[in-house]
């Protein structure tokens, strides 16, 4: 599953574009990429609305850190 070897696969996700499927707020939200959904947090703490496009900045274990594009 997507959790296996997540660290080695960082390049598969880094700098890629994903779509927000659950609004990202202070406690995070969810994004979709490659047909997978991931827990996501905003890199700078801003809220990002559902359906917005975001860039994946880093992958920390099972959480993606993203910024709005």
Displacement of CA 7 from its chain's centroid (Å): 14
Instruction: Tell me the C-alpha distance between 61 and 51, whole Å.
Output: 24
| Of 22, 2, 27, 20, nearest in space to 67 by CA | 20
pLDDT single digits (tens) 10-26: 688 999 999 999 999 99
Instruction: Give the 3-state secondary structure percentages of the chain, helix then strand then coil, rounded to 5.
Output: 5, 55, 40
6, pLDDT greater than 80: no
pLDDT single digits (tens) 25-37: 999 999 999 999 9
pLDDT single digits (tens) 42-55: 999 999 999 999 99
Contact 59, 8 (CB under 8 A): no
Phi, psi of 13 (to 5 degrees): -110, -30
Confidence category of residue 1, pLDDT binned at 50, 70, 90: very low
């Amino acid at each position: 599953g997507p959790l296996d070897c997540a660290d080695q696969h960082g390049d598969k996700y880094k700098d890629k574009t994903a779509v927000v499927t659950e609004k990202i707020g202070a406690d995070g939200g969810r994004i979709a990429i490659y047909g997978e959904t991931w827990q996501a947090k905003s890199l700078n703490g801003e809220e990002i609305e559902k359906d917005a496009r975001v860039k994946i900045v880093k992958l920390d274990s099972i959480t993606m850190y993203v910024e709005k594009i």
